[in-house]
Structure 1
Amino acid sequence: MPRTPTLSFDRGTLILHPPPRGKSWMDYATWDDRVEKFRIPAIQYRQVVEALQAEGSYFSDEAKAFEPLELSPSMEMEPYPHQSEALAAWKLAGRRGVVVLPTAAGKTYLAQLAMQATPRSTLIVVPTLDLMHQWYAHLTAAFPDVEVGLLGGGSRDRTPILVSTYDSAAIHAEALGNRYALLIFDECHHLPTDFNRVIAEYAIAPYRLGLTATPERTDGKHSDLNLLIGQEIYRKTAADLAGKALAEHEVVQIKVKLSQHERDRYNQLIQTRNDFLREAKISLGSLKGWQLFVQASARSAAGRRAMIAHRQAKEIALGTDGKIRILADLLAEHYPERTLIFTADNATVYRISQEFLIPAITHQTPVKERHEVLTKFREGEYKTLIASHVLNEGVDVPAARIAIILSGTGSAREYIQRLGRVLRKGKDKDKFALMYEVVAEDTSEERTSVRRRGVKRSEERGARSEGKVTQLEILPTKQITYGSGDRTSQRAAESSGKWDDNNSLETEE
């Protein structure tokens, strides 16, 4: 009597043995001489099962170890239209796909709705411990009758609903692969790395939801999300949701002129760098150009001098004294509004923290101190907070209404995340948020600003003058230029600079 074909899970892969009579499964299987059986990538579980079922092949599915859940939410809200639309789009796509929503648009509640619509054991993967604990608090409040566990930060739970960091989920991918029917990837742009992608590849989960504000990656690997999670199925921007789910907001760019001493020194440093780049026939208009510059700087004394000049010029642009004066003016103007200040480097964070007596958070801040600072900020004991990159992702500060970017990278993701820190309405339904972007005029920062806002400089004037949103659909930016205390028009501010490839300082992110 012939044995029943069996589909089983084996450390991140599937084994199908003995072979079924049909042929559809053969498109997915590879013969493994080590075990003398056919092996199939775990990520193709759903396609294989559907193919076998479609042709009427009888088989025993021993691969799945996930289970149905009784999810009776104790916390329900009327979803915003965009949340209902996103959920409907996800269902229509077979409960697979990526939803792109701006920071503070309610992605966590959307995930809760997806879990309620697909009541099966669920793994939620997040990039940071802070986010892991935020998700845990939300899910334990939403589903008090179901055990919610943690994987990461010293916890190794085995629960029907599990919240894990990307690092921990990747380490345990082989063991987790068949236990969860629904995978939710928060900030899913973290998934397509060589280390993280095994979470999706070793999993048989038939249902997958990716959540992010900006899926695009500079290495182009965001296209891998189509395979790992599913196609992008829904997208809304901060501009789309302003005044609805998110606060009405305005972005104001303030251009600061370097002092004459800073300008002379900046030009001298740029000249030193550009002389070397011309001699080495290197253009900094691309990532490859930057890589060539780094390599060349290690080969000669002239190259090292050029790199040092590059760094010093960048420090002048990022940390000009004019920015500190503008910061003082903005803080005085908006006191006692709760304000977040962002910089690109820790040195500036600590400098401002000391000069203005403002609490600071960097990657060096101990966990307990960081928690205490954020708690006092939320409660209003601290009115202002300054940070480098650590508040870009996964921090809920709905009370903040003012954001001041003193410096940053050319990353559109970072820009959107920083804007999102002040877009959450909280209890203030009529909240109006302001984000100031302080840029050193006629320096690399101008081009960096254009890059992070997602438009080419040649397109910027036209898009703004016609009232159009940019490529990333961030609201148009009002511009103000500070010189000797006067403000000039946008046109005057823009007409003063000329650009070529070698004017760009920041191709590294």
Structure 2
Amino acid sequence: MGAEPNHEQMGKAIMVRFDSGTLLLDGLGARDVAPTPFSWDPRVARWRAPAAAYRTAITELHRRKIAYVDRARRYDEFQFVHRSVAEPRPYQREAIEAWKRAGRRGVIVLPTGAGKSLVAEMAIAEANRSTLIVVPTIDLMNQWYDILSASFEAEIGLIGGGYFELGAITISTYASAFRHMEKLGDRFGLLVFDECHHLPGSSYRHAAEMAIAPFRLGLTATPERADGAERLLADLIGPIVFRRKVADLAGAYLADYQLVKVHVELSAEERAQYEKARSIFRAFIESERIPLGNVEGWHLFIAASARSERGRRAMLAYREAKRIALGTDAKLRALTQLLARHRDDRVLIFTAENEMVYRISELFLVPVITHETPIKERRFWLEAFNRGDVKAIATSKVLNEGVNIPDASVAIVLSGSGSSREHIQRLGRILRPRPGKRAVLYELVTRDTTEEGISRRRSDQQADRERDPMAPWLW
């Protein structure tokens, strides 16, 4: 609670309170000067601000020596007993120190397998406030529950997956946090956003905006987004305060690794079909004067393709060319050779399309995990993989993040997007350290197709980031 109102100074009491994901000021009229984050709301004749402005507002009230009563805050202070058996690594300590210097707000960027969960535990122990950890999936929510239950002598709550239980430390999915923060935004002093690149999405960001939490931590291996919305993280969580890339930690803290690009050729029949489809697509793009190569151009193509029969044919041609390039039989022949080479290793096979995943499963008799896989079946296959009962799993995108498969040492990427984030996530799946382990990621690319250009652009983007790891806003 702030200082009691000084009636000689103000002539009236000021009260700050939480209201449905926002802050309201009681005791000031429309002609009074309110703290910077507030604007006048004539509907209720009050000054209103986003709940996320709580820290700024309270700081300004203190700086201006304005007496106030704080009725917004309903989170508690604790003395958490942190009993983690893991000794923090030097870079984890550096990350937390950087976060503290930034006022306990900011994003920490570490590769998959580098121990981001321990960094979060250290932040919780530093903040000693009611904490909400926000994660993208139910599987991750369950993983965090196990980790925190073992690391803290505190009640651990869950919101999502059929649970609604608040604890001293609570774990929620992004969807549930967005749904409930309007009512719960005053209950947490620390927000931890795991895989925080999800946060700037059009709806998820409101989970950060509707909470008063003065302390915030974002964790990710890859903050960059295709739509450029990662720039919003600075306001929602705080700036990037610490960043390490895979190459910084490989060998010492992550497994050594090798990246191998394998080029394959279309057959004569596939080449003829590919060129025919591409010519239809290119003719439409040129006639409509649509610039490709960025998200805006792609959106223009989608809109134009829906306006005419010729546009619809162009979209079908685009998909056909993509199907041929990504699903050529040459990739399956290369996969046969790679699986034979790594018959004793744990192998993850990644594709962009579910159709190819099921095709691989039928041809090579390996289990499949996609978004269609039931939770119990997914858990069964992951546990079998970790035990070594199965040596390979085929998947599309659902294993890009949020799974613990420490013994995976080989990744074979048959197809993917041009996103460097997806590449880093897939590489991260095989970098959990193990004595004598050397991980290898194979990328299969069809020569003389658009896939080759996409792979090259992604590699160029990644190289730029390796040269300048603290420049997050360039992609």
TM-score (norm 1): 0.86
Letter in 2 for 1:232: I
1:92-131 alignment runs, 5 A limit: 92-131=101-140
Deviations 1:93-119 (A, max 9, x none): 000001111111111110001111111
2:397 counterpart of 1:389: yes
CA contact (8 A) 2:35 2:61 kept: no
Match of 2:458 in 1: 452
* Alpha-carbon shift at residue 32 of structure 1 (Å): 2.8
2:441 counterpart of 1:435: yes
User: Match of 1:450, SS?
Assistant: helix
Match of 2:325 in 1: 317
How many residue pairs are counted as aligned between the two chains? 456
Cα distance between partner residues in 2 of 1:173 and 1:44 = 15
Counterpart selection for 1:210 from 193, 209, 218: 218
Match of 2:354 in 1: 346
* Alpha-carbon shift at residue 268 of structure 1 (Å): 2.1
Match of 2:473 in 1: none
Deviations 1:174-220 (A, max 9, x none): 11111100000011111112211111111111100011111112222
* Alpha-carbon shift at residue 325 of structure 1 (Å): 0.7
1:301-380 alignment runs, 5 A limit: 301-380=309-388
CA contact (8 A) 2:345 2:391 kept: yes
Gaps of 5+ in 1: 456-468, 475-509
User: Match of 1:123, SS?
Assistant: strand
Counterpart selection for 1:299 from 289, 300, 307: 307
Cα distance between partner residues in 2 of 1:193 and 1:383 = 36
Deviations 1:451-506 (A, max 9, x none): 33343xxxxxxxxxxxxx711329xxxxxxxxxxxxxxxxxxxxxxxxxxxxxxxx
Cα distance between partner residues in 1 of 2:16 and 2:297 = 50
Cα distance between partner residues in 2 of 1:473 and 1:436 = 20
Label 1:63 to 1:293 Cα distance change in 2 as closer, same or farther (>3 A).
closer
Cα distance between partner residues in 1 of 2:222 and 2:398 = 17
1:3-152 alignment runs, 5 A limit: 4-19=13-28, 25-143=34-152, 145-152=153-160
* Alpha-carbon shift at residue 24 of structure 1 (Å): 7.7
Runs of 4+ in 1 over 6 A off after TM superposition: none
* Alpha-carbon shift at residue 7 of structure 1 (Å): 1.6
Counterpart selection for 2:182 from 174, 179, 182: 174
Cα distance between partner residues in 1 of 2:334 and 2:250 = 27
1:247-266 alignment runs, 5 A limit: 247-266=255-274
Cα distance between partner residues in 1 of 2:74 and 2:300 = 50
Cα distance between partner residues in 1 of 2:286 and 2:53 = 51
Letter in 2 for 1:183: L
Letter in 2 for 1:436: Y
Match of 2:161 in 1: 153
TM-score (norm 2): 0.92
Letter in 2 for 1:439: V
Cα distance between partner residues in 2 of 1:3 and 1:297 = 62
CA contact (8 A) 1:282 1:289 kept: yes
1:240-279 alignment runs, 5 A limit: 240-279=248-287
CA contact (8 A) 2:34 2:47 kept: no
Match of 1:495 in 2: none
Deviates more, 1:281-290 or 1:9-18: 281-290
Cα distance between partner residues in 1 of 2:387 and 2:289 = 55
Letter in 2 for 1:418: R
CA contact (8 A) 1:349 1:386 kept: yes
CA contact (8 A) 2:357 2:394 kept: yes
Deviations 1:270-305 (A, max 9, x none): 222222322333332333332232233233333222
Cα distance between partner residues in 1 of 2:397 and 2:184 = 31
Gaps of 5+ in 2: 1-6, 468-475
Cα distance between partner residues in 2 of 1:79 and 1:140 = 18
Label 1:269 to 1:157 Cα distance change in 2 as closer, same or farther (>3 A).
same
Cα distance between partner residues in 2 of 1:37 and 1:279 = 55
CA contact (8 A) 2:226 2:295 kept: no
Letter in 2 for 1:394: G
* Alpha-carbon shift at residue 25 of structure 1 (Å): 4.4
CA contact (8 A) 2:80 2:128 kept: yes
Cα distance between partner residues in 1 of 2:34 and 2:85 = 42
Label 1:279 to 1:48 Cα distance change in 2 as closer, same or farther (>3 A).
closer
